Structure 1
Amino acid sequence: MRILVIGASRGIGLETVRHALQHGHHVRAFARSAEQIGIEDDKLEKINGDACNAADVAAALKGVDAVIVTLGLPKTMQGLGRTTLFSDATRVLLPAMAAAGVKRLLAVTGFGAGDSKARMSTVEKIPFKALLGRAYADKDVQEDLIRESDLDWTIARPGILMNRPASHSYEVLVEPDTWRNGLISRGDVAHFLVHAAQEGTYVGKAPVLIR
C-alpha cells in the first residue's frame, strides 16, 4: 500500500512510519518538520506541510491508498487553552480525500473522546478534564466529523501512552461495555493502525486500545 501519515514526525506518527516501512508499504510522511525525520528508506517520502492547509493536504493525498492521522499537541500546549487543531485539520482532510478518491481513513483520538468518555470513572474524569479537557473537546468534534463522512473510517482510542517497545499483544475493545482505561505503547498503537489499514478491518468502529 501507499500510506499517508499525517503528523508523522513524532510519537505515534513516527512509530507508524517505522512499522509501515517494516511491512513493505510505501509511506508518505507528512508533518511541518518532516525533513527532520531520522529514517532513511527508499519507500519513504518526507513532505513538509500544514495539516490545516488545503493545498498542502491535497498535494499529499495524490496516489495514496489510505490516510492515517496521528496529530497531537506538544506537551507545552496541553491544558493551556482551547484548541481547534483536530477539527480544523479534519475539515480540510475530509473533502480533500473525497476529491482525491481516497476512501480509507484511520484517525487516533484517545480513551475519553466521544462516547468513550461515559466509561471513565469519576476519579479519572477530574485530572482528565484539568489536563486534557480542552484538547479532547476538539477531538469530540473531530470524531463527529469523521463519523458523519462517507469514508471507510476507523477511530483508534488508545489509553495512556507509554514509550515502551511494541509488544504486539494488546486488547482491541470494540464493544462499549468493554471500554476501560489502561496503558499501551505508542508502538502497539502503530501496529494496530498499519494492520487495520492493510487488512481493511474495524471499518466504522472506534475501538479502545490497551495492553
Structure 2
Amino acid sequence: MYDSFFQSYIDQWSFRPIAVEDATLSVLAEYKNEVRVYSAEKLLSFILKYLKKCAEDFIGDFVKDAVISVPTCFNHLQRQSIKEAAALAGLNVLRIISSTNAAALAYNFNNQKDENKKETNVLVFDLGGGALGVSILTVGDTCAVESVAGNPHLGGEDFDNLLVDHCVVEFKRQYKKDIVSNPRAFRQLRNACEEAKCRLSSSTETNIKIDSLLDGIDFCRKISRQSSL
C-alpha cells in the first residue's frame, strides 16, 4: 500500500484504499448508502460472478470451470489473487493465461477451417485498461510464444486520468472549487471522461458535459483527438 507507484494513483480513485488488521489491502466503497469494506478479491469476485451468470444464460447450462486471461505483466501473487476471486465466484480455474496468448488462441481457432493455413508469425498488441502487452507468436497447428514485452503502468485508464486532471484544473480555474474534494462529483467526472474517450474512437471531437457537477454548477468542455492536455 505504501509503494510509490500505488501512491501515485490514489488521487485518481473515487474510493479509499485501506489496510485491514491482517494487512490485506481493501477499499471503502459506498453501497446502498452504506460504507462497506471490501478486499480487492471480493470486488473482483462480484464481476466474475456476473460474467459467470451471463455465460450460463447464454449457453443454458451451469458453468463450473474457467480459463482466465490476465495482463502479461501479472506476477505470481497477482495471478493467485485472481484465482482466489474466482473461487469466491464459484469458479474452478483450470488455467491462468496471458491476455495476448488468449487473443492468439482465438485467432488460431477462428482460422482452423482454412485448409491452406501456413505457419505464420502473429503480433498481438493488447492495450488494456491498466497495462500494455505485446506478444509475438508462431501460429500454426499450435501456438508458440516467441517473445513477450509490455508496460504494466500504461493503459486506457492513463488516458482517462489525463482527461480528468485537465477537467479538474479547468473547473478549479473557472469556479475556484475543487472537484477532488467531493467523491460523488469526482466519480461523475471520471465516468464522463471515460465515455468521452470512447466516443473519440469514432468521432474527431466530443463534449464532456455534466449537469450540476458540483454545488449546482454545470460543466462542459470540448475535446478532440488533437487536444493538448
Normalised TM-score (structure 2): 0.28
Larger radius of gyration: 2
TM-score w.r.t. the length of structure 1 is 0.30
| The structure with more strand, counted as a fraction of residues | 2
Asked which structure has the greater RCO (Cα within 8 Å, sep 6+), the reply is: 1
